[in-house]
């Protein structure tokens, strides 16, 4: 819908009309390109006067949601005039007269009724100053604070209400980097030269990728395990990181070996409520060699899996209560029903809605599910349905957004592979449907329903927020020493379509990249952009790791075609980037 000016207020030929129009067009271009605005229209607005109801984001007078709504209306390319109802604050700040030339009016019931009687679209933000003044961590909550006058106006005027919801301006990426070693240490054991320190990085999104920057804080962590070593609480206030191995000894140089690293046990809580200033608020010593961390849907419980070469031989799973930004000092270590002592619990992931965990047994290539029962004394776990045989060497499990399917990768590593992983074949992803039926005893029956091939060693696994895509990050053999003839000099990502209803997986393709050891990826909230980690780079002049950005694009003339496109944009982080999650 093209925004029109009120007669006599910025109309063609009136003083300042040209300047106002230029500013408006510049604002629309700014939010579309610089902030990568994506507009989805569920139903076109009716061709009549209407009350357009929008929501604020955060940031008070710098709230980008206002510009996003302006760009949305402009993009609908209709001719009906629009009038924005604006808070009295604009006139106090002496910008009200400028806004009037663009069709704005002081917010009042009388102004709205007048504009509606003239057949205009009237844009209102009922939350006003309270909605726009909310904190960053409440940015995606629409809060009108009981203000329902807009509904009364619509009924009195007999006009429809057109809701326009804007979200995503405050997304961030949280990245862990393990600076203790070069990638080839996985093959020859030499840690190589030191480069920086272990870090947790926070990258606020919402800007053009070329202007993104990371804010960092020192957090001990390790890349030697599944790329599931960090998780973010549902309220987006805190990140929790686990330390699989300790940092390398301070003495010694390039001759230090991987075996010089000791089992880690530090659990670190970082306050990320201000993405530009992450702060460590708690460090505790837990059990030895944690592999992965996951947080339940209400943020009250943290699950940590442990490697059998550490505490995991006897205690594969620990549960910590979490409240007010702090982990309880003593964990609960419930017995896992049917678990075989000494098996490797590769990953333990909470269901997005229920107190249920998906568990990956890397020793037996099985996925099982347990419900977590919150008792007054201690949480307990009970089996939920059957275990499902998945593919060789499962490493990570992730649920679809609705929780109906669990997706797991298979790396095909093992003692029967040369160097355990050095000559592994292509890997895979599988989808497991929860509650696919009932067993003879009435218990739930889960079933593997689909499989898709990936590149070699698909360590990283992510499901898109819209539940229609899966991406794996494939190490290939990028981590081998440069003089090893098996070195691929490329790594890759695999894009897979996911049918949210049937769970069917369809491989789209592999997309090569020049980063070394890409262990993790994250979609943005729109599922149209992808961030991929590079542990290191083939160009040794380029220090550190990076977060590299890709676009997911569709062919307008061929809806069945989807492609991943690597962009030129990248954010530098400390060397050893290996785990990443989206904060949204």
Per-residue pLDDT of 451-469, as tens digits, reads: 999 999 999 999 999 999 9
CA distances to 27, 38, 350, 428 from 12, rounded to whole Å, are 19, 30, 59, 61
SS3 of 377-414: the string is CCCEEEECCCCEECCCCEEEEEECCCCCEEEEEECCCC
User: In the structure, what pLDDT confidence band is assigned to residue 73 with cuts at 50, 70 and 90?
Assistant: low
Give the pLDDT of residue 513: 97
Give the pLDDT of residue 565: 95
More confident residue, 85 or 498: 498
Could you state, in order of their start, the residue ranges of all structural domains in the chain? 17-164, 172-458+572-583
Mean pLDDT of the chain: 85
Give the pLDDT of residue 5: 32
Give the pLDDT of residue 9: 37
Is the per-residue pLDDT at 564 higher than 50? yes
Give the pLDDT of residue 545: 95
Residue keyed to tokens 């000894």: 249
- The rounded percent of the chain whose pLDDT value lies above 90 is 61
Is the per-residue pLDDT at 108 higher than 90? no
Crossing angle of the two packed helices 149-157 and 109-117, in degrees rounded to 10: 30
Give the pLDDT of residue 163: 76
Predicted confidence (pLDDT) per residue in 161-216, tens digit: 777 766 655 688 999 999 999 999 999 999 998 888 999 999 988 667 778 899 99
Q: How many residues are recorded in the chain?
A: 584
3 state DSSP class of 34: helix
Q: How far apart are CA 49 and CA 80, in angstroms?
A: 8
Residues in CB range of 52: below 8 A, 6 or more apart? 45, 69, 73, 82, 121, 122, 123, 124, 162, 164
Give the pLDDT of residue 156: 78
Is the per-residue pLDDT at 360 higher than 50? yes
Predicted confidence (pLDDT) per residue in 114-143, tens digit: 777 777 777 777 765 555 554 444 555 666
Give the pLDDT of residue 128: 56
For Cα atoms 550, 551, 552, give the angle at the middle one, nearest 5 degrees.
Answer: 125
Q: How far apart are CA 110 and CA 491, in angstroms?
A: 62
Average pLDDT over residues 209-227: 92
Residues in CB range of 470: below 8 A, 6 or more apart? 407, 429, 452, 461, 462, 463, 464, 495, 496, 497, 498, 505
Residue keyed to tokens 């491989």: 507
Bridge partners of 175?
A: 201, 580
**Which architecture does CATH list for 172-458+572-583?**
7 Propeller (2.130)
More confident residue, 4 or 225: 225
3 state DSSP class of 116: helix
Give the pLDDT of residue 552: 94
Is the per-residue pLDDT at 7 higher than 60? no
Give the pLDDT of residue 90: 64
More confident residue, 527 or 377: 527
User: In the structure, what pLDDT confidence band is assigned to residue 78 with cuts at 50, 70 and 90?
Assistant: low
225: tokens are 């395990």
Predicted confidence (pLDDT) per residue in 369-400, tens digit: 999 998 777 889 999 999 999 999 999 999 99
Is the per-residue pLDDT at 506 higher than 80? yes
- The rounded percent of the chain whose pLDDT value lies above 70 is 79
Is the per-residue pLDDT at 71 higher than 60? no
For Cα atoms 216, 235, 281, give the angle at the middle one, nearest 5 degrees.
Answer: 45
User: In the structure, what pLDDT confidence band is assigned to residue 16 with cuts at 50, 70 and 90?
Assistant: very low
Predicted confidence (pLDDT) per residue in 429-450, tens digit: 999 999 999 999 999 999 999 9
């Amino acid at each position: 819908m093209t925004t029109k000016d009120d007669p006599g207020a910025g109309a063609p030929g009136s003083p300042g009309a040209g300047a106002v129009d230029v500013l408006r067009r510049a604002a629309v271009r700014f939010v579309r390109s610089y902030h990568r605005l994506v507009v989805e229209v569920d139903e076109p607005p009716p061709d009549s006067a209407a009350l357009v109801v929008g929501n604020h984001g955060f940031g008070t007078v710098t709230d980008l949601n206002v510009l996003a709504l302006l760009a949305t209306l402009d993009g609908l390319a209709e001719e009906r005039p629009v009038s924005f109802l604006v808070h009295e604050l604009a006139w106090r700040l002496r910008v009200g007269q400028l806004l009037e030339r663009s069709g704005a009016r002081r917010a009042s019931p009388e102004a709205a009724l007048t504009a509606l009687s003239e057949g205009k679209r009237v844009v209102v933000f009922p939350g006003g100053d309270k909605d726009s003044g909310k904190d960053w961590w409440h940015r995606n909550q629409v809060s009108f604070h009981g203000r329902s006058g807009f509904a009364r106006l619509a009924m009195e005027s007999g006009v429809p209400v057109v809701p326009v919801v804007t979200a995503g301006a405050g997304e961030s990426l949280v990245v862990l980097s393990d600076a203790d070693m070069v990638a080839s240490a996985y093959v020859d054991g030499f840690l190589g030269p030191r480069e920086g320190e272990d870090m947790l990085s926070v990258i606020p999104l919402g800007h053009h990728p070329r202007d993104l920057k990371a804010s960092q804080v020192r957090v001990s962590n390790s890349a030697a395990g599944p790329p599931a070593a960090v998780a973010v609480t549902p309220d987006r206030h805190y990140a929790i990181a686990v330390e699989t191995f300790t940092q390398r000894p301070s003495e010694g140089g390039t001759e230090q070996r991987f075996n010089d690293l000791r089992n880690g046990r530090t659990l670190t809580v970082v306050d990320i409520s201000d993405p530009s200033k992450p702060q460590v608020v708690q460090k505790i010593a837990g059990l030895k060699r944690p592999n992965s961390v996951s947080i339940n849907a209400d943020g009250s419980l943290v699950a940590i899996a442990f490697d059998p070469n550490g505490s995991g031989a006897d205690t594969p799973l620990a549960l910590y209560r979490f409240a007010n930004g702090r982990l309880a000092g003593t964990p609960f270590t419930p017995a896992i029903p049917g678990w075989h002592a000494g098996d490797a619990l590769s990953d333990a992931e909470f269901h997005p809605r229920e107190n249920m965990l998906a568990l990956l047994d890397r020793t037996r290539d099985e996925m099982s599910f347990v419900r977590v029962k919150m008792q007054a004394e201690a949480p307990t776990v009970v089996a939920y349905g059957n275990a499902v045989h998945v593919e060789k060497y499962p490493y990570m499990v992730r649920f679809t957004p609705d929780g109906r399917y669990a997706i797991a990768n298979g790396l095909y590593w093992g003692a029967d592979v040369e160097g355990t992983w050095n000559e592994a074949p292509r890997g895979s992803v599988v989808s497991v449907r929860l509650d696919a039926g009932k067993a003879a005893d009435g218990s739930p029956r889960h079933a593997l329903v689909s499989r898709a091939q990936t590149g070699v060693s698909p360590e990283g696994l992510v499901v898109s927020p819209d539940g229609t895509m899966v991406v794996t990050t494939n190490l290939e053999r990028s981590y081998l020493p440069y003089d090893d003839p098996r070195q691929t000099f490329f790594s890759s990502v695999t894009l897979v379509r996911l049918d949210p209803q049937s769970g069917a997986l369809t491989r789209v393709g592999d997309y090569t990249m020049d980063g070394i050891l890409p262990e993790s990826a994250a979609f943005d909230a729109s599922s149209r952009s992808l961030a991929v980690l590079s542990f290191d780079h083939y160009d040794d002049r380029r220090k550190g790791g990076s977060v590299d950005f890709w676009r997911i694009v569709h062919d307008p003339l061929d809806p069945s075609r989807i492609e991943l496109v690597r962009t030129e944009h990248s954010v530098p982080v400390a060397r050893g980037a290996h785990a990443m999650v989206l904060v949204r």
